[in-house]
């Protein structure tokens, strides 16, 4: 049996068109892999990461990487909250100015005015067309009437004595009378259309006038509201300039930069362990780092990056 199998393998390998390749040789044993088990803290987080999933900072969250540490007097930091309140008020005033109800009312009135003006132009154009058409039809009637009058005068004068000419003249007078009657009916029909177009033009003109009066009243209300908002915004800007002059230049530059990056809010109060800029509560690690930071250290929120201003209600 063994010889038959060997003979079969030999015949099979000899008849194959591909050269025989040696079978791969595997080692008798494999190297062992060393598995290291890492004990997790009791709170279930990975080593080196807090419970919030953010990397553990090696230093308090008080500055950007690579930037020098910024220090400012606590009173100057508190003035950032006053500055932020004024900037927020300015943003609200700008939003109020851009969203006055008079703007919407004016847009609706102007759209309706455009539609009514188009109707007025069309009605006046039709009125003019029918007026010219009526003038042309009346001229045709006058032309036929004058010719009929001339023929009637010739007939009454007795200048035409030929029976054939008299018959032809009388026949033409009859045709002219029918033609004049038809043309007068055309004039009446055109006059009716002209009066209807004129009535539509007068109606559209009255509507346009009424809408223009309403728009003028709304514009006055809008301008009055805009002046009121502008006066208040001017007062707030002057107050903001006065407060900004009391803030150190480096702190003010940082605040303005952050305000441009984070939707108009560059500084927020730390209130009961919560950042009022992003409305997120800081974890214990961050609170401890802020608690250990000196009072003149400018602290930043780890969640939103804004300046955190510490007060008596910060929960530290």
Residue ranges making up the domain that contains 306: 74-96+248-310
Closest CA to 64 of 300, 316, 274, 244: 300
Residue percentage of the chain with pLDDT more than 70 = 78
> Based on the structure, what is the number of domains in the chain?
2
Q: Are 307 and 77 in contact (CB under 8 A)?
A: yes
To the nearest whole number, what is the mean pLDDT of the chain? 80
Is residue 139 located within the same domain as residue 230?
yes
Q: Looking at the structure, do residues 142 and 219 belong to the same domain, yes or no?
A: yes
Rg value, the chain, Cα? 49
User: What burial class does residue 83 get, using C-beta atoms within 10 Å of its C-beta: 0-12 exposed, 13-18 middle, 19+ buried?
Assistant: buried
Domain final position from 216, 243, 270: 243
Residue finishing a domain among 243, 258, 276: 243
Q: What is the pLDDT of residues 56-109, one digit of tens each?
A: 333 334 445 445 678 999 999 999 999 999 999 999 999 999 999 999 999 999
Of 222, 243, 264, the last residue of a domain is 243
Phi, psi angle pair for 268, to nearest 5°: -140, 155
DSSP states along 183-211: HHHHHHHHHHHHHHHHHHHHHHHHHHHHH
Contact 258, 308 (CB under 8 A): no
Return the minimum-mean-pLDDT range out of 59-73, 159-173, 176-190, 235-249.
Answer: 59-73
**Do 157 and 175 have their domain in common?**
yes
Judge if 83 and 106 occupy the same domain. no
Mark whether 149 and 253 lie in a shared domain.
no
């Amino acid at each position: 049996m063994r010889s038959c199998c060997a003979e079969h393998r030999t015949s099979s390998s000899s008849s194959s068109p591909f050269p025989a390749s040696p079978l791969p040789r595997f080692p008798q044993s494999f190297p062992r892999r060393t598995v290291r088990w890492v004990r997790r803290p009791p709170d279930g987080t990975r080593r080196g990461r807090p419970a919030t999933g953010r990397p553990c900072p090696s230093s308090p969250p008080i500055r950007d990487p690579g930037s020098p540490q910024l220090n400012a007097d606590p009173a100057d930091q508190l003035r950032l909250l006053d500055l932020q309140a004024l900037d927020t008020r300015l943003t609200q005033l700008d939003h109020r100015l851009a969203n006055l109800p008079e703007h919407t009312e004016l847009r609706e009135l102007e759209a309706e005015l455009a539609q009514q003006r188009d109707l007025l132009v069309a009605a006046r154009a039709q009125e003019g067309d029918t007026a010219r058409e009526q003038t042309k039809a009346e001229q045709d009637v006058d032309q036929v009437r004058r010719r009929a009058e001339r023929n009637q005068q010739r007939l009454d004068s007795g200048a035409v004595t030929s029976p054939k000419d008299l018959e032809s003249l009388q026949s033409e007078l009859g045709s002219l009378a029918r033609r004049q009657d038809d043309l007068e009916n055309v004039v009446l029909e055109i006059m009716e259309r002209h009066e209807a177009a004129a009535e539509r033009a007068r109606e559209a003109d009255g509507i346009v006038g009424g809408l223009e009066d309403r728009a003028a009243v709304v514009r006055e209300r809008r301008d009055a509201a805009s002046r009121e908002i502008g006066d208040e915004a001017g007062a707030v800007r002057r107050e903001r300039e006065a407060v900004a002059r009391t803030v150190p230049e480096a702190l003010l530059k940082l605040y303005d930069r952050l305000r441009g990056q984070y939707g108009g809010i560059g500084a927020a109060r730390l209130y009961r362990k919560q950042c009022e800029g992003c409305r997120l509560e800081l974890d214990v690690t961050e609170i401890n780092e802020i608690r250990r930071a000196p009072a003149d250290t400018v602290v930043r929120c780890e969640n939103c990056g804004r300046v955190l201003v510490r007060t008596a209600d910060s929960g530290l």
